[in-house]
Amino acid sequence: MDIRTKSTLTVFVSLALSLLSTGTAMAAGTPQNGEQIFQKCKVCHAVETDAPQKLGPNLHGLFGREAGTLESFDNYSPAMKKLDVVWTEDTLMKYLKMPQQMVPGTTMAFAGLPKKEDRQDLIAYLKEATE
C-alpha cells in the first residue's frame, strides 16, 4: 500500500469512528436534560418505588413491563389495556412522539414530544430513575 492509500484509509477510519461515537452519544440521550423534560410528566406520573399513584401509573419498573398491566393502577383506558406492547426504548420512542397515534383512545392527555432528542433524553432519564 502506498502512502496516499494509507493516508486516505486513516482519514476514512477516523471519520467513521467519529460518526459512530457521535451517533452513539446522541442515541443514548442525556438524563439531565430528560429530568427537565420529565417535569411536564410528574404532574401525573411518579418514578419512585414507594410513591403514591397519581392520575397516571407509577413508572418505576417501566422497562420490560407490558403496557396497561401495573396491578396497583386501576385507571388504564380500555385502549391501553388492549395494547400488546412491552415498554422498551423503541416502543417508548414511538409512544412519546404521539401517544394518541400509537394508542388511539388513550386517556393520556399529553400531545407528545415531536423532537427526537427530547424523547431520547427523557428515555435516558427514565432508564436511570425507574430501575
Q: What are 108-121's pLDDT values in tens digits? A: 989 999 999 999 99
Q: Are 96 and 106 in contact (CB under 8 A)?
A: no
- pTM attached to this predicted model: 0.77
Q: What are 47-77's pLDDT values in tens digits? A: 999 898 899 999 999 999 999 999 999 999 9
Q: What are 5-53's pLDDT values in tens digits? A: 444 444 343 434 433 433 333 348 999 999 999 999 999 999 999 898 8
The stretch 71-88 carries a mean pLDDT of 95
pLDDT score of 28? 81
- What's the CATH number for 30-129? 1.10.760.10
Extents of the domains making up the chain = 30-129
pLDDT score of 123? 98
Distance CA 73, CA 107 (A): 14
CB neighbour class for 123 (10 Å; exposed up to 12, middle 13-18, buried from 19): buried
